[in-house]
Chain A
Amino acid sequence: MTEPLLKIENLRIELALRSGQAPVIDDLSLELRPGETLSFVGESGCGKSMTALAIMGLLPEKVGSIAGGRILFDGRDMAQMNDAQLRSIRGNEISMIFQEPMTSLNPVYTVGEQIAEVLRRHKGMSKQAAWARAIELLDAVRIPNAKSRVSDYPHQMSGGQRQRVMIAIALACAPKILIADEPTTALDVTVQAQIFDLLRDLGRETGTAIILITHDMGAVSEMADRMVVMYAGRKAEDGPVAPVISHPRHPYTKGLISCVPHLLAKLTEQRPDLTEVPGIVPALASFGADACLFASRCDMADDKCRSSRPPEVAFGEQHSACWKADQL
């Protein structure tokens, strides 16, 4: 097995609330190997984006902080790095694309200027060289007519095109890790597939490891090598995608998978109700409790689940934090 590129050990992130400190990420450990695609899934508010921001060192100031654990990138602990060290990594070795392509580009600069700027900052390229590379990159993210579109302003592009530009910016310096935080949520379904294809192809070409944060179980099964299911700031289950999807060892994973609706062959048939996971994610204040936080929504829960936090159980490469994992 190759050395992991990114290793998160017992990460704990706390948010300052009026009622005190609440752990939004509680004892999270995971590994990312070079070139692989790891997917974070879970509902909103489960700490997926927080983990991504923590890796980038971009937790909201004065509100969120790393309270424990380590984030090792190439053997160096990012949680201990100063600003200058972090800046040389951000956008260069680890880069990130965001959920809202409509607002992630600066409206007053052309897309070419924005791509070229990253290259000049991190790679010390000349103005001309960076501009020429910007055109190549636009071409690589399959924007037609890259040579003329390079001097377009963001508002002249569609959402899908802007997300392509974001990908071009993120991949400009050939980073080792690309974090994609719900990159397609704001896009049309047809465009979503194109963006996922693009990410997968570019990831393979450049050997960039991808952390894909998403709700889309379809995308996970198509793109990712391994997946991490997050629930209420804790890891519910992780492992290679195929066994996790075919045989989930955590009731929450099972619920998420059964929520994906299937297209019906005959529309005249009685349509089955859409499946849902009942209830909602518990309030942030109760995140630190010594219990299974999913217990209130789980039909298998018993007193043990409500009174002590389940440890992680291994099933081959698959891990599940559920007291009843072996019964599933």
Chain B
Amino acid sequence: MKMIEDIPPKARSPFSEAFEMFRRNHAAVIGLVILLSIIAIAVIGPMVYPGDPFDMVWIPFTPPGEQGYLMGTDYLGRDLLSLLIHGAKVSLTIGISAAVVTVTIGITVGALAGFYRGWVEEVLMRLTEFFQVLPTLLFSMVIVSLFGASLMMITLAIGLVSWPAVARITRAEFMRIRELEYVTAARAGGVKNGRLIFSVILPNALPPIIVQAALMVGSAILFEAGLSFLGLTDPNVASWGQIIGSNREYILDASYTVTVPGVAIFITVLAISLVGDGLNDALNPKLRQR
């Protein structure tokens, strides 16, 4: 006998369901397309448009479009388009790796605090608050000027000032989830604490953390631009912020030299925010309507 129960509903994982929700948010899809194009430019751009971006190629301050230089040249006569393409890779790398650092520290601290509670939580949360009340720009400037303005130091500095937000979100999620019945059921099944944290609770705590991490990429790019503008950057690497920083004195005479990389930053961060917003819709169960 064929029962209704025998007909299996189409098997869909929570992730394919989230993707479905994401697709319905048009702004997020546009953001994703823009972001993917920027990533594509960063990856294949240097191959399609070869040449060292630091080479002087033409007379300084050639306006965009003249002499075949689509974006013009900067104060040293460097091709702005080439700088922009190479800068995309640098800025995105900084954004993504700073987000990875942030999320790694944040999840570790938040998970331990939310899971173990008691004195572990006290110590870790006081530490989090300590980092939270530090003036972020000042603190990262101190780190970069003390340890040198290499890309790795800048990334670490950004990660180090940004993790408290992730730690707080993770802790809150852990505190909520650890009381749920399936965690008790897992305990009753003899699951070790380590597995309980990483295999049972963490996957369920991830959605808001993913959203936060996506937004982190955008704010890390902005943060790096800010540091570069103040001159705290690796002068041998062309990030977007570095282009703005090095041209800032000519902002009145040749405004395009700062506008062009500025717009690039603006578009990228906007795209990331749209994607983050879409992820929020897709992953937040409260907003998910069936």
Enumerate chain A interface residues (CB-CB to B < 8 A): 56, 58, 61-62, 86-92, 95-96, 98-100, 103-110, 118, 121-122, 144-145, 148-149, 151-153, 156, 161, 166, 169
Contact = CB atoms under 8 A, between A and B. Distances in A.
Interface string B175-202: 0000011101111111110000000100
B204 A96 contact: no
Contact of A144 (B6, B188, B203): B6
Give chain B's interface residue range (CB within 8 Å of chain A).
20 to 34
Interface stretch (B9-17, B22-30, B48-56, B77-85): B9-17
Contacts of A56: 187-188
Given A87-B190, A153-B13, A105 B182 contact: yes
A19 to B, nearest CB: 23
A58 B188 contact: yes
B8 A100 contact: no
Given A87-B190, A90-B189, 20 more contacts: A90-B190, A98-B181, A98-B185, A99-B181, A100-B181, A103-B180, A103-B181, A104-B181, A106-B203, A107-B204, A108-B14, A121-B189, A144-B3, A145-B5, A145-B6, A148-B8, A149-B8, A153-B14, A156-B9, A161-B5
A91 B180 CA distance: 18
Given A108-B14, A153-B13, A95 B189 contact: yes
Nearest to B202: A108
Contact of B186 (A106, A107, A151): A106
A107 B180 CA distance: 11
Contacts of B13: 110, 153
A91 B188 CA distance: 6
Given A103-B181, A108-B203, A87 B6 contact: no
5 contacts: A90-B190, A104-B184, A105-B185, A121-B190, A144-B3
Contact of B188 (A96, A107, A108, A121): A96
A96 B184 CA distance: 10
Instruction: Give the interface SS of chain A, mostly helix, strand, loop or mixed.
Output: loop
B192 A87 contact: yes
Interface string B115-157: 0011000000000000000000000000000000000000000
A118 B195 CA distance: 12
B65 to A, nearest CB: 53
Interface of B: 3, 5-6, 8-9, 11-14, 117-118, 180-182, 184-192, 200, 203-204
A89 B186 CA distance: 13
B175 to A, nearest CB: 13
A118 B6 contact: no
B182 A106 contact: yes
A86 to B, nearest CB: 8
A290 B5 CA distance: 55
B14 A58 contact: no
Contact of B204 (A92, A106, A156, A166): A106
Given A104-B181, A106-B200, A91 B189 contact: yes
Contacts of B9: 152, 156
A305 B278 CA distance: 66
A95 B14 CA distance: 28
Nearest to B195: A121
A122 B190 contact: yes
Contact of A152 (B8, B180, B184): B8
Contacts of A110: 13
B181 A118 contact: no
A152 B11 contact: yes
Contacts of B186: 106
A108 B204 contact: yes
**Closest 5 CB pairs between A and B?**
A91-B189, A90-B190, A91-B190, A87-B190, A103-B181
A149 B5 CA distance: 10
